[in-house]
């Protein structure tokens, strides 16, 4: 078995779907595994000049690759079947390709009702938190218990370990800054968004070949905590980048990339390759800056795109760096 992992190093919305799609187009993968989260995720993918936003279904379906919703995920049945119908209507074959780990858990109506009540901490209101809570309280509903899913359910161990020479792309959801253990608690999601989250789906540590870390040229965040930088430049950044949530449509708060957080995320996730997306947005504004920590005003302002890239390469010398200014490719 060989596994490559795609992990978001910031607060989600960094372009993981695009990178997964790019790698699947380039590589000979047998499986694509979504390893955490639920329909609170929104992965934007451009395939054959068409725009798709997937919430549950892994990117492997765009290339005829077996696409597994893993044990670390929670599934909204209505959204799952709706997404399959939308993909197949658009000409993307899902039959026989999309599977769900039998030990993935189900988001119920009661979970949705609970999360749609007023909350102090921001949420996408998709029922993920209550579903994960019931999973760990050992009173949840597993996919294998749902008759409507009998044609989709697989044993994840058998699917991955009994497959001859499996090559797996592990597609994460949300981001490091939202991880239940490593994120800005309590302003976090309910799942494991790190490389370790992929391993919890039955991937042996020694099978990992590459870890693709994904970040933006700046940071965005959707939620109730104060994150948006002070000054008109951050409003311009929001507009230039069209920063509105793929799942909720809410405006994303914007700030400069925090290099200390990025370095921490790289080290904890064991990143081998770093992709920086949306360089074109900074180019449009001709503004090239980083933060050194979370304090307001502690920032470095560079004079040009070249000096900005040089500084990043100096700060993170151990990585293979890839810069992207296109929504469809690296």
β 43-47/74-76 pair status: unpaired
Which long-range contacts link 75-82 to residues 24+ away (Cβ below 8 Å)? 75/38, 75/39, 75/100, 75/104, 75/105, 75/106, 75/107, 75/143, 76/38, 76/39, 76/106, 76/107, 76/112, 76/126, 76/127, 77/106, 77/107, 77/146, 77/148, 77/149, 79/39, 79/55, 80/39, 80/56
Check 13, 134, 179, 273 and give the catalytic one. Answer: 13
Q: Which of 72, 303, 298 is nearest to 173 (CA)?
A: 72
Q: Is 43 annotated as catalytic?
A: yes
Strand-strand pairing, 105-107 and 50-54: unpaired
Local structure of residue 321 (DSSP, 8 states) = E
13 catalytic residue (yes or no): yes
Of the candidates 31, 43, 47, 105, the residue annotated as catalytic is 43
**Catalytic annotation, residues:** 13, 43
């Amino acid at each position: 078995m060989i596994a490559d992992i795609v992990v978001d190093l910031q607060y989600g919305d960094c372009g993981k779907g695009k990178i997964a799609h790019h790698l699947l187009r380039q590589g000979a993968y047998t499986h694509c595994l979504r390893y955490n989260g639920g329909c609170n995720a929104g992965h934007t993918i451009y395939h054959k000049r068409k725009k798709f936003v997937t919430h549950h279904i892994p990117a492997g379906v765009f290339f005829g690759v077996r696409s597994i919703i893993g044990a670390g995920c929670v599934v909204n049945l209505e959204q799952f079947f709706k997404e399959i119908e939308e993909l197949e209507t658009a000409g993307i074959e899902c039959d026989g390709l999309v599977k769900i780990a039998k030990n993935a858990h189900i988001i119920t109506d009661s979970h949705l009702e609970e999360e749609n009540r007023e909350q102090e901490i921001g949420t996408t209101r998709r029922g993920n938190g209550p579903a994960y809570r019931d999973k760990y309280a050992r009173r949840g509903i597993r996919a294998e218990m749902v008759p409507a899913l009998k044609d989709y359910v697989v044993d994840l161990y058998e699917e991955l370990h009994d497959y001859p020479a499996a090559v797996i792309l592990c597609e994460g959801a949300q981001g490091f800054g939202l991880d239940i253990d490593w994120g800005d608690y309590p302003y976090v999601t309910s799942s494991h968004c790190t490389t370790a989250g992929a391993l919890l789906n039955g991937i042996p540590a020694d099978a990992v070949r590459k870890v693709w870390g994904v970040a933006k040229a700046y940071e965005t965040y959707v939620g109730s905590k104060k994150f948006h930088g002070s000054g008109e430049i951050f409003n311009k950044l929001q507009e230039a980048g069209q920063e509105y949530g793929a799942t909720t449509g809410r405006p994303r708060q914007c700030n400069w990339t925090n290099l200390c957080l990025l370095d921490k995320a790289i080290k904890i996730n064991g990143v081998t390759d770093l992709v920086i997306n949306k360089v074109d947005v900074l180019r449009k504004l001709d503004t090239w800056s980083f933060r050194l920590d979370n304090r307001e005003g502690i920032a470095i302002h560079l004079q040009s795109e070249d000096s900005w890239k040089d500084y990043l390469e100096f700060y993170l010398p151990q990585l293979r760096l890839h810069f992207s200014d296109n929504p469809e490719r690296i």
